[in-house]
Chains A and B, each alone.
Chain A
């Protein structure tokens, strides 16, 4: 049983890890941090895999733990993040394409709560209700964050594109 459980976890990890890193990257904006929070969430899942593996959506559990971890990191390094926002994208981002660069810059200006809702809805493809369950907030809250985040992102993407065209 133990070997089966172990193999099961390894298979789940191999399949879900790259996907979750991409999703968390879209939320936190830095691939190293995304890897850290996702790996930490998987480390927790590994210890409780017999229980978590039986869930309907173990990937959702790991994503939620990783998002919580991202929130904790943000609280801890709010000052550093504020500096990051002031100085602009980190050194890795310039290797992105112009469009990805514009999206990165626009996302960075949004609060983390808006970013995570946008990612769950647009990148992960969850419905409003599913995103609400995932985040443990009412559906109305998700709708409101989604509307505000979408509007801000569209506005900022417009500005970014104008700046890029001028540059």
Chain B
């Protein structure tokens, strides 16, 4: 087929079949559509950003354990005054519970010593550890918190346990899926335990 013939047939086809069916919209209508499309794109962008943020929160929650809230951004606490160790004092601010006043694991004269252990200290990421301790009052609520170590900006809270009749407590925790180090601590009755640093391997 010659080029000229092809050109003629294609043009005839476009001319014959491509006549607009309805009346063309007005310029004002087109502008309205343009603004609506812009608005739609802005809403879609916000939606995507919102979903991504929501997904990140869910992901962080999963990374922090199945039943627990995972990492929640908290105001950055005051920097530690001494080099990090496995017995860091807990953050002195930011958590609603327990009270934000600093405390140590030392018992006051009227209260038993709060002891807290984590077994094992080294495990594969996503594995399970046992959080146990003693020194709470019977029936007292025992809270736990964890944070990436040594980063201190984000703190996650775990599902609380209840102290037994002898003041001991125990619960399991599925550690984050991300290899690295995390610090875990417990509290009850306004007293904090030392932080225990766990090493999560691949």
Q: Give A residues with C-beta under 8 Å from B.
A: 6, 9-10, 13-14, 17-18, 21-26, 31-32, 34-35, 39-40, 42-44, 46-47, 92-93, 96-97, 99-100, 103-104, 107, 118-119, 122-123, 150, 153-154, 157-158
Contacts and interface: CB of A to CB of B under 8 A. Distances in A.
Contacts of A153: 6
Interface string B13-33: 111111111101111001101
A97 B37 CA distance: 37
B7 interface: yes
B16 A96 contact: yes
B10 interface: yes
A41 to B, nearest CB: 10
B35 interface: yes
Given A17-B24, A44-B37, A47-B31, A103 B9 contact: yes
B21 A35 contact: yes
B30 A43 contact: yes
Contacts of A44: 34, 37
Interface of B: 1, 3, 6-7, 9-22, 24-27, 30-31, 33-35, 37-38
Given A99-B12, A150-B6, 9 more contacts: A18-B24, A25-B17, A35-B21, A39-B24, A46-B27, A47-B35, A119-B14, A123-B14, A154-B1
B66 to A, nearest CB: 38
B33 to A, nearest CB: 4
Nearest to A38: B20
A118 to B, nearest CB: 7
A43 to B, nearest CB: 4
Given A32-B21, A122-B6, A157-B1, A25 B14 contact: yes
A141 B166 CA distance: 81
Nearest to A34: B18
A145 to B, nearest CB: 15
A117 B22 CA distance: 27
A23 B19 CA distance: 10
A39 B33 contact: yes
Contact of A100 (B7, B16, B21): B16
A31 B18 contact: yes
B27 A18 contact: no
Nearest to A95: B17
A158 B34 CA distance: 43
Given A17-B20, A22-B18, A46 B13 contact: no
Contact of A43 (B6, B20, B34): B34
Nearest to B38: A47
25 contacts: A6-B27, A17-B24, A18-B19, A21-B19, A22-B18, A25-B17, A26-B13, A26-B18, A31-B18, A31-B19, A40-B37, A43-B30, A43-B33, A46-B30, A47-B31, A96-B17, A99-B9, A107-B13, A119-B10, A122-B6, A122-B11, A123-B7, A154-B1, A157-B1, A158-B1
